[in-house]
C-alpha cells in the first residue's frame, strides 16, 4: 500500500479534468478515443518509418502530439513532439528510437489507467 | 453557472463547423459547444470542411491549422476569395504559437485564432464575439436592403419610382443595342384623375392609383416593370415585346381597368379609364432614353387629345390607334 511510484504519472489527471469540465466519465470516453487514434497513428508511423516517408512521420507525430496535449499526457506529448521533429529533420534513427519510446509510454499509460480503474 | 447557461440558450445560437482531424480535440469541442447550445457540423479533413463551409447556413467555423487535405489557412483564403453571400466568421486553431504563424493565419482571412489545447472559457467568449459580429453584419445587410428598397420604390403604390424605372429603361435600351431583343414602353395616365381627387378627396385618388398598380402587377409577367413616373402617370416597361405585342398588352390593360369597379372609402364604387401612349424599341431609328420617353409621351398626349380612354402607339414607322373610345359606362 505504501509503495508509491517515484516517477511522474503518465497523465496529469487533475489538469485534464479541469480542462474538460470535471467529468470523469467524459475523460474516460476521450481516453478511449485517444487509444483508438493512437493505435491508428502508431500503425501509420511504423509504415512511414519502414518506407522512409518523412512527411507522414511528421504528420502522424503532430497528430499524436495534439491529442496528447488535450488529455494532459506529458510524456506521450513529448515523445510525439520528438517524432514530429524527426520527421521534419528527416532523421530515421531518431524516428525509430522515438517509436519505441512512444510505445513504451503508451503502455505505461494503459497500465496506469488499468491500475487506477 | 446555471444562469449563464440559460442566457446563452435563450439566444438564437448559430450552427458551428468544427474542422479538426484529431478525434480527441473534435469530441471535446463538440461536447463543449453542445453544452452551450450550439448545433455542430463536423469535418475530419480539409476537403469535407471546404464542402461544408460553402453552405449558407454555416456562419461560424473553427478550423484546425494542420489537417490532411486542405489546411486551415488555405480554407480561410479560399472562402474569402469566393465571396459568400453571408459573412462566415473563422477561428483558426493552432498548436503553433509564434507570431509569424498568427500573422499568416490572419492574412489568409481568419477572424480570430486560438492555440491548442483550447481554453474553453476563452472559446466561449470568442464565440460570443463571433455571434455578435455575424448579427451586426446581418443587421447591416438588412438595413442596406431596406435603404435600397426605399430609394427605388414609390411608397404609395410600391411600384418602382421614377429614378428606378428610368434606370431599367436605360438598361433595356443597352440590351436591345447589344442583343437586338425588342421591348415596349407604355406611358399611362389615369383619365380625369383631378376630378376624382376633387370629388372624393385625395385619399380616394390614392386608393384608385394603388388599385390600378395592383391590377397591372397581377396581369403582367413578373419581369415587366411598373414605375410611377409622375403624379398619376405610370410607365410600364415590357421586355421582349415588339410593337404589336406592346399594343396588345396596352389594350388588355385598358380593358381590365375599364371593367374594374374601384372601391373608394370602403363602399363607393367608381369606374375609371386610362389613356395609354406606347412605343417599342424597333420602331425608333435613333434609340435612346429621351427618344423613347418623348415618343411614348407624344402618343399619350394624342390619346388624351383624341378624347381619352384609348391606346396610341407611336414610332418612326408606325403610327396608329389601337382602340377607339368605347362607351362602357351605361346608365
Tell me, what CATH number does A43's domain have?
Answer: 1.20.120.160
* B142 assigned to some structural domain: yes
b/e map of B51-62 (b: 16 or more CB within 10 Å)? Answer: ebbeeeebbbbb
Count how many pairs of residues, chain A against chain B, have C-beta atoms within 8 Å: 47
Q: Does A37 sit within 8 Å of B25, measured CB to CB? A: no
CB atoms inside a 10 Å sphere around CB B9: 13
Tell me, what CATH number does B127's domain have?
Answer: 3.40.50.2300
Tell me the residue range of the domain where A54 lies. Answer: 13-110
* A78 assigned to some structural domain: yes
List per-residue pLDDT tens for chain B, 331 residues long: 334 444 444 456 889 999 998 899 999 999 999 999 999 999 999 999 999 999 988 999 999 988 888 889 999 999 999 877 789 999 998 875 556 678 888 999 999 999 887 888 899 999 999 999 999 999 999 999 999 999 999 999 999 999 999 999 999 999 999 999 999 999 999 999 999 999 999 999 999 999 999 999 999 999 999 999 988 899 999 999 999 999 999 999 999 999 999 988 878 899 999 999 999 999 988 899 999 999 999 999 999 999 999 999 988 765 555 544 443 333 3
Q: Does A66 sit within 8 Å of B25, measured CB to CB? A: yes
Share of chain A above pLDDT 70, in %: 92
**B92 and B228 share one domain:** no
Distance from CA of B121 to the nearest CA of A (A): 10
What number is the ipTM of this complex?
0.84
Residues 56-115 of B with CB under 8 A from A: 66, 68, 95
CB B120 within 8 A of CB A19: yes
Positions in chain A short of pLDDT 70: 1-6, 115-117
Q: Among B104, B124, B149, which residue terminates a domain?
A: B149
List the end-to-end C-alpha distance of chain A, in Å, as a whole number. Answer: 16
**B285 and B141 share one domain:** no
* A117 assigned to some structural domain: no
* pTM, full prediction: 0.67
* A6 assigned to some structural domain: no
Q: How many domains does chain B have?
A: 2
CA distance B282 to B182: 6
Distance from CA of A69 to the nearest CA of B (A): 6
* B328 assigned to some structural domain: no
Q: How many domains does chain A have?
A: 1
3-state secondary structure of B238: strand
* A1 assigned to some structural domain: no
Tell me the residue range of the domain where B314 lies. Answer: 162-321
What confidence score (pLDDT) does residue A8 get? 83
Of B32, B95, B120, the CB nearest to A65: B95
Q: Among B122, B149, B176, which residue terminates a domain?
A: B149
What confidence score (pLDDT) does residue B191 get? 95
What confidence score (pLDDT) does residue B317 get? 61
What pLDDT, in 10s, does the model give residues B141-151? Answer: 999 999 999 99
What confidence score (pLDDT) does residue B7 get? 43
Of B25, B35, B119, the CB nearest to A67: B25
CB B162 within 8 A of CB B231: no
Asked if B36 is an interface residue toward chain A (Cβ–Cβ < 8 A), one would say no
**B137 and B20 share one domain:** yes
What confidence score (pLDDT) does residue B267 get? 80
Question: Which of the residues A33, A39, A78 would you substitute to probe the B interface, choosing the one with the greatest number of B C-beta atoms within 10 Å?
Answer: A33
Amino acid at each position: 500500500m505504501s509503495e508509491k511510484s517515484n516517477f511522474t504519472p503518465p497523465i496529469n489527471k487533475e489538469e485534464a479534468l479541469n480542462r474538460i469540465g470535471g467529468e470523469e466519465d467524459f475523460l474516460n470516453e476521450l481516453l478511449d478515443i485517444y487509444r483508438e487514434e493512437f493505435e491508428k497513428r502508431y500503425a501509420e508511423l511504423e509504415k512511414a518509418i519502414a518506407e522512409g516517408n518523412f512527411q507522414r512521420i511528421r504528420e502522424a507525430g503532430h497528430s499524436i502530439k495534439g491529442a496528447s496535449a488535450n488529455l494532459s499526457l506529458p510524456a506521450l506529448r513529448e515523445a510525439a513532439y520528438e517524432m514530429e521533429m524527426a520527421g521534419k529533420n528527416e532523421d530515421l534513427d531518431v524516428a525509430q528510437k522515438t517509436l519505441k519510446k512512444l510505445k513504451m509510454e503508451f503502455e505505461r499509460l494503459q497500465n496506469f489507467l488499468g491500475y487506477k480503474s | 453557472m446555471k444562469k449563464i447557461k440559460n442566457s446563452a440558450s435563450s439566444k438564437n445560437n448559430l450552427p458551428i463547423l468544427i474542422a479538426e482531424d484529431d478525434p480527441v480535440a473534435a469530441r471535446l469541442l463538440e461536447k463543449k459547444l453542445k453544452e452551450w447550445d450550439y448545433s455542430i457540423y463536423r469535418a475530419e479533413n480539409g476537403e469535407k470542411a471546404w464542402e461544408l463551409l460553402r453552405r449558407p447556413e454555416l456562419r461560424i467555423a473553427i478550423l484546425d491549422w494542420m489537417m490532411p487535405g486542405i489546411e486551415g489557412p488555405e480554407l480561410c483564403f479560399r472562402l474569402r476569395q469566393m465571396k459568400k453571400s453571408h459573412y462566415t466568421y473563422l477561428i483558426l486553431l493552432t498548436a503553433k504559437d509564434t507570431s509569424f504563424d498568427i500573422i499568416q493565419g490572419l492574412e489568409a482571412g481568419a477572424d480570430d485564432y486560438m492555440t491548442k489545447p483550447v481554453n474553453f472559457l476563452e472559446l466561449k467568449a470568442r464565440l460570443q464575439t463571433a455571434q455578435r459580429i455575424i448579427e451586426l453584419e446581418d443587421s447591416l445587410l438588412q438595413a442596406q436592403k431596406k435603404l435600397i428598397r426605399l430609394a427605388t420604390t414609390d411608397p404609395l403604390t410600391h411600384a418602382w419610382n421614377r429614378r428606378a424605372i428610368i434606370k431599367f429603361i436605360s438598361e433595356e435600351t443597352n440590351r436591345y443595342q447589344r442583343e437586338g431583343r425588342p421591348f415596349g414602353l407604355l406611358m399611362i395616365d389615369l383619365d380625369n384623375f383631378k376630378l376624382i381627387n376633387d370629388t372624393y378627396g385625395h385619399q380616394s385618388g390614392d386608393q384608385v392609383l394603388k388599385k390600378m398598380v395592383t391590377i397591372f402587377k397581377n396581369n403582367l409577367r413578373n419581369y415587366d416593370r411598373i414605375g410611377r413616373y409622375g403624379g398619376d402617370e405610370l410607365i410600364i416597361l415590357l421586355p421582349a415585346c415588339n410593337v404589336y405585342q406592346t399594343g396588345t398588352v396596352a389594350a388588355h390593360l385598358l380593358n381590365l381597368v375599364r371593367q374594374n369597379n374601384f372601391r373608394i372609402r370602403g363602399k363607393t364604387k367608381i369606374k375609371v379609364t386610362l389613356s395609354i401612349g406606347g412605343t417599342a424599341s424597333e420602331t425608333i431609328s435613333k434609340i435612346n432614353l429621351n427618344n423613347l420617353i418623348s415618343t411614348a409621351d407624344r402618343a399619350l398626349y394624342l390619346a388624351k387629345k383624341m378624347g381619352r380612354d384609348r391606346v396610341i402607339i407611336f414610332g418612326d414607322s408606325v403610327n396608329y390607334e389601337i382602340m377607339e373610345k368605347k362607351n362602357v359606362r351605361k346608365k
